[in-house]
Amino acid sequence: MLTTTSRRLWLIRAAQLSAMSTLPRWAWSQNAKLQHNPFSLGIASGDPSPDGFVLWTRLLPTAAPPAGTALPLEMLNALSTQTVRWEVANDEQFRQIVARGTANADPLFAHSVHVEVRGLPSGRWYFYRFMHGDAVSATGRTRTAPAAHELPEHLRVIYASCQRWEHGFYSAWRHAATQSPDLVLFLGDYMYEYASPANPEGMARIHHLHLPHTLADFRDRYALHKSDPDLQLAHTVAPWTVTWDDHEVQNDYTASQGKGGMTPDFLLMRTAAWQAFYEHMPLRASTLAANDGFHSLQLHRRLQWGRLANIHLLDARQYRDRQACRKMDGAASAVHPDKCAELLDPARSFLGTDQERWLEQGLLADAQSHNPRWSVIAQQTLFSPRTYPSGTQSADSWDGYPPARDRLIRAIDAHPPRNTVFLGGDIHQNYVCNVEAVNARERDGKKPRVIASEFCGTSISSRSGTTQDKVDAIRQHNPHVLFARSEERGYGLCDITPGQWTTTLNAVADPLRAESAVRELAKFVVEDGRADIQFA
């Protein structure tokens, strides 16, 4: 266990190593002695289990053009498979190595490396690093999850989403790295597919990449985002568990349909985007269980944290039905139930029928076992209703699939886990809501019955298109919404104990400044056995 002082020193050293990643990408050589840093996209760990975790890196095999410009595809494809060494140790100096090995960095997968480490003791922190030739990566810190029978005293989880490059610097990640998280949940929109804005005025920074269509395009976009030193630092302090939303492919896409519907060009682009996502995330081989050449990835999965928490991570893009009443060539827009009969079609699904069943079965198992203390549904967007004063609602969130949402609420209500908490992102706003039972608001004025708690987080950097005045009007129109803010960028921190869940919302003072301060915006508490949220 690191003391507060030693952890602070380690973070300083990690930040220095992370800053090295802004050096020029190295000129690849088959010789052992290398001229530059091959680990310029950083390192990461993810998906901790009681006996291991995933380690990730991607070698960049050539000197790069300026940040935000494309790396020639022929330069990547011409390079051979490289051997990368990895080590896991009890100590930062790597004197007590507990696991080591080699892995192939294959050009077919952008020289990415995914190492699944197994056989380690549960509930322990470790250090890890990669080596290639005479180059050594930054040092990362990761951990195993507690054993299934253990009841940990504490779990600190950061949840975050939506980090459009040009909209802001990633100072939220620099601050998050100091918060001693056990786990980071990233809930979608790790990168944005938009081309460089024609008018850079008001942007924090610019890039020179076009709208991606090919595998090389999507790889370049991830390389852009991963070049950020604050994001790299956040990846080194704790394991991440990641899912996607729409911008990893195309705004508002659903399943096999993009703008213009299901076309061969879109399906080819989606496959390229999904491969690039896998190549750049600390994901297990089970993600590729379908073995169908990146035509599908299995991202919905569970992460158990002893008897304290069971995290059900969802995929709300790959299996969902197309948004109701959406024009073929347009984005999903707000719809009114009276003008869109499709909205209330019970056959439509937000998660797909198989994933719906998987989630309901998992929550039922949580309820029947009386473990864990906290059942966490980590997914992409706002779950609770958010009806606008005009009566319209978003077609691209759970509001666009009311029967599917009602099915999940009824499943929780029929067999309630001990405590259920929803986490979300996507909307670039902070919403804190009490999740109410279906038809809970009685006409006789009785207090609605609350069955779960919800914390939907704002973006790391992506701007909100909604003013605070409009959000205030929405909150007044939706009594189950306890707190709603649109103007802050940042992240959420969940401090979880057997008896209490505390969520702290942290906000960036100025996203346009790389060294911006981060402040506490609000704090909320959920007591064990009580779903309703209280202000702390």
Place of tokens 């990415």: 112
- Percentage of residues in the chain having pLDDT higher than 70: 89
Q: Which of 162, 192, 190, 156 is nearest to 176 (CA)?
A: 156
Residues recorded for the chain: 536
Q: Which of 176, 355, 305, 162 is nearest to 245 (CA)?
A: 162
* pLDDT-based confidence at residue 327 (cuts at 50, 70, 90): confident
Place of tokens 């999850």: 145
pLDDT of res. 98: 99
- Residue by residue, DSSP assigns 29-52 as -SSSS-SS-TTTT-EEEEEEETTE
Task: Choose the weakest-confidence range: 94-103, 253-262, 338-347, 435-444.
Answer: 435-444
The answer to whether the beta carbons of residues 168 and 204 sit under 8 Å apart is yes
pLDDT of res. 12: 37
Does the structure show a pLDDT above 70 at 11? no
Query: What pLDDT, in 10s, does the model give residues 112-128?
Result: 999 999 999 999 999 99
Q: Which of 113, 192, 95 is nearest to 428 (CA)?
A: 192
- Whole-model pTM: value is 0.92
Delineate the domains of the chain, giving CATH numbers in brackets: 1-145+189-242+245-283 (2.60.40.380), 157-185+299-536 (3.60.21.70)
Q: Which of 322, 373, 374 is nearest to 352 (CA)?
A: 322
pLDDT of res. 436: 97
Q: Which of 419, 309, 312, 451 is nearest to 372 (CA)?
A: 309
Does the structure show a pLDDT above 50 at 232? yes
- Distance between CA atoms of 156 and 174, rounded to whole angstroms? 16
- The secondary structure of residue 320, as a DSSP letter, is P
pLDDT of res. 17: 37
The answer to whether the beta carbons of residues 42 and 138 sit under 8 Å apart is yes
Does the structure show a pLDDT above 90 at 73? no
- Percentage of residues in the chain having pLDDT higher than 90: 83
Does the structure show a pLDDT above 80 at 29? no
pLDDT of res. 243: 99
| Cis? peptide before 66, omega within 30° of 0 | no
Q: What is the sign of the dihedral through the CA atoms of 251, 504, 47 and 98?
A: positive
- Distance between CA atoms of 134 and 123, rounded to whole angstroms? 32
pLDDT of res. 15: 42
The whole-number average pLDDT for the span 321-339 is 87
pLDDT of res. 20: 34
Strand 52-58 to strand 43-49: parallel, antiparallel, or no bridges (unpaired)? antiparallel
- Distance between CA atoms of 282 and 61, rounded to whole angstroms? 20
Query: What pLDDT, in 10s, does the model give residues 479-529?
Result: 999 999 999 999 999 999 999 999 999 999 999 999 999 999 999 999 999
Q: Which of 185, 168, 181 is nearest to 380 (CA)?
A: 185
Query: What pLDDT, in 10s, does the model give residues 50-63?
Result: 999 999 999 986 65
- Distance between CA atoms of 167 and 177, rounded to whole angstroms? 21
Does the structure show a pLDDT above 60 at 4? no
Q: Which of 89, 85, 84 is nearest to 142 (CA)?
A: 89
pLDDT of res. 448: 87
Q: Which of 305, 298, 293 is nearest to 421 (CA)?
A: 305
Strand 481-485 to strand 140-143: parallel, antiparallel, or no bridges (unpaired)? unpaired
Query: What pLDDT, in 10s, does the model give residues 334-378?
Result: 899 999 999 999 999 999 999 999 999 999 999 999 899 999 999
